Amino acid sequence: MVYNYFMPKKKNVVEGVTCKICDELFADKKGLSYHIKISHGVKFIDYVIKYDYDGVKPTCSCGCGGELSFFGGKFTSFISGHQSLGAKRSDETRQKISEAHTGKTNSAASNEKRSLSLKKHHEEHPEHAQKISEANKEKIVTDDTKELMSTTRKNKIATGEIVINRDKISQTVIRRYVENKTNNALGTYTSTKTNKICNFYSANDVLFMQKFDNDPDIKTWEHRFMVLECVEDGKVHRFAPDFHVERNDNKHQIVQVVATSSQKRDLIIEHCKKHGWEYVSMSLRDIV
């Protein structure tokens, strides 16, 4: 069976798109694609790749290397789903995206725009925000990733890229305490021995701080000076021992005044043994 194709009668075209093969002018890409197929026997997608992309088929702009869809006479910019929240990607895809974005930084305006957009989306779709929050809680972050995140954050704080508004944090903590959303006493204490300002989280903390300041055998002390990690019930918990005390005879002690689990206590004792320190458990009776 033979098909006869008839070109529609053309109107006088003054502006539009020009065929890069024969320089004929058309009103739009639809007319051009029809012309390319009938007059030159070429698929329009092949024509676009050759003349608009120098013969190289474009891939997803996110850097994953995936093939793009072609419709309406042009290629899309992203693979469908890549820009949607919660899109699932393979580890290989994520690695390619990471390599493609290495060294790139977003402007402050771009970050602010994205933050406002996400905030608006979460306010309009609280059920989706809750779903994302629950999914993030189940994610396991490796120790190497935590170390990298910690180093990156410290560097950004040092360069001023991240500014910690301690006044705002303090106001938030005070508001939570006034609204009875926490049962702990909160505030700051200035040591008379070290002149350092320490945050306290209970009234008992202040009593021990005063005890250490008034003890002539103590050279210096720190409150919640480090963070340790342990696994309980299959989950990673981060906690800070209560006090680090250095005495005049250069003896170091970790003083724990809050009851803690045996696993956390064993971890503190192990840290003390590693550094030649002493583990001491104290209570309010030791102050009186």
Q: What is the pTM of this model?
A: 0.38
Instruction: Output 195-199 pairs: Cβ under 8 A, ≥24 positions apart.
Output: 196/222, 198/223, 199/223, 199/224
- Most confident range, picked from 84-93, 150-159, 195-204, 210-219: 210-219
Reported confidence tier of residue 255, pLDDT bands at 50, 70, 90: very high
Q: Beta strand pairing status for 252-256 and 278-281?
A: parallel
> Which of 176-185, 209-218, 244-253 has the lowest average pLDDT?
176-185
Place of tokens 């006493």: 185
Q: What is the residue-averaged pLDDT of the chain?
A: 79
Strand 243-247 relative to strand 252-256: parallel, antiparallel, unpaired?
antiparallel
Mean pLDDT for the stretch of residues 200-218: 88
Amino acid identity for residue 195 in this structure:
N
- 252: helix, strand or coil: strand
**Residues contacting residue 22 through CB under 8 Å, at least 6 positions apart:** 39, 40
Which tokens in the block code for residue 83? 């820009």
| Domains of the chain, start order | 17-75 (no CATH), 202-286 (3.40.1350.10)
Report the percent of the chain where pLDDT is more than 70: 82
Q: What angle do CA 267, 258, 242 make, to 5 degrees?
A: 65
pLDDT recorded at residue 260 = 76
Helix (H) / strand (E) element for 65: namely none
Could you tell me if 218 and 233 are in contact, meaning their C-beta atoms sit under 8 angstroms apart?
no
pLDDT tens sequence across 83-98: 544 456 677 777 777 7
Secondary structure element (H or E) that encloses residue 242, with its range: none
Report the 10 Å Cβ neighbour count for 247: 15
**Beta carbons of 287 and 255 less than 8 angstroms apart:** no
How far is the C-alpha of 248 from the C-alpha of 263, rounded, in Å?
31
Average pLDDT over residues 97-103: 72
pLDDT at residue 68 is higher than 80: yes
DSSP string, 147-186: HHHHHHHHHHHHHTSS---HHHHHHHHHHHHHTTS--S--
